[in-house]
Structure 1
Amino acid sequence: MPITRRLVAASLSLVALAPSLVHAAPAPAFTAKDIDGKTRSLAEFKGKVVVLEFVNEGCPYVKKHYSGNMQGLQQAATADGVVWLSVASSAPGKQGYFADGAAARTWLDAKGAKPTTLLLDSDGAIATAYKAKTTPHMYVIDRSGALVYQGAIDDVPSAKVEDIKTAKNYVAAALADVKAGRKVAVAYSQPYGCAVKYKDA
Structure 2
Amino acid sequence: MMIRRTLLALLLAPALAQAAATVEAPAPTFSATTAEGKPLSLADLKGKTVVLEWTNHDCPYVKKHYSSGNMQSQQKDAAAQGVVWLQVVSSAPGQQGHVDGATARKLNSERGAAPMATLLDPKGELGKLYGAQTTPHMYVIKPDGTLAYKGGIDSIATADKADIAKAEPYVTEALAAVAAGRKVEKASTRPYGCSVKYAS
Partners of 1:105 and 1:149 lie apart in 2 by: 27
Q: Give the letter for the 1:133 counterpart.
A: Q
Partners of 1:21 and 1:43 lie apart in 2 by: 16
Q: Give the letter for the 1:47 counterpart.
A: G
- TM-score, scaled relative to structure 1: 0.89
Larger relative contact order (CA 8 Å, sep ≥ 6): 1
Q: Give the letter for the 1:122 counterpart.
A: P
Please state if 1:159 is matched with 2:135.
no
Match of 1:85 in 2: 86
Runs of 4+ in 1 over 4 A off after TM superposition: 17-20
Partners of 2:123 and 2:150 lie apart in 1 by: 21
Question: Would the alpha carbon gap of residues 19 and 164 (structure 1) be closer, same or farther in structure 2, given more than 3 Å must change?
Answer: farther
Please say which structure displays the higher CA radius of gyration: 2
User: Residue 66 of structure 1: SS of its match in structure 2?
Assistant: helix
User: Residue 149 of structure 1: SS of its match in structure 2?
Assistant: strand
**Alpha-carbon deviation of 1:132?**
0.3
Given that residues 20 and 129 in structure 2 are in contact (C-alpha distance below 8 angstroms), is that contact kept between their aligned partners in structure 1? no
Partners of 1:25 and 1:19 lie apart in 2 by: 11
User: Residue 51 of structure 2: SS of its match in structure 1?
Assistant: strand
Match of 2:70 in 1: 69
- TM-score, scaled relative to structure 2: 0.89
Structure 1 or 2: more helix by fraction: 2
Identical residues among aligned pairs (%): 54
Given that residues 34 and 40 in structure 2 are in contact (C-alpha distance below 8 angstroms), is that contact kept between their aligned partners in structure 1? yes
Given that residues 135 and 196 in structure 2 are in contact (C-alpha distance below 8 angstroms), is that contact kept between their aligned partners in structure 1? yes
Task: Map Cα deviations across residues 71-111 of structure 1 (whole Å, 9 max, x no partner).
Answer: 0000000110000000010000000000x211110111111
Match of 2:28 in 1: 28
Please state if 1:108 is matched with 2:108.
yes
Q: Give the letter for the 2:44 counterpart.
A: E
Partners of 1:79 and 1:95 lie apart in 2 by: 32
**Alpha-carbon deviation of 1:23?**
1.5
Match of 1:8 in 2: none
* Superposition RMSD in Å: 1.5
Q: Give the letter for the 2:123 counterpart.
A: D
Q: Give the letter for the 2:71 counterpart.
A: M
User: Residue 73 of structure 2: SS of its match in structure 1?
Assistant: helix
**Alpha-carbon deviation of 1:133?**
0.2
Q: Give the letter for the 1:74 counterpart.
A: Q
What residue ranges of structure 1 are gaps of 5+ in the alignment?
Answer: 1-16
User: Residue 102 of structure 1: SS of its match in structure 2?
Assistant: helix
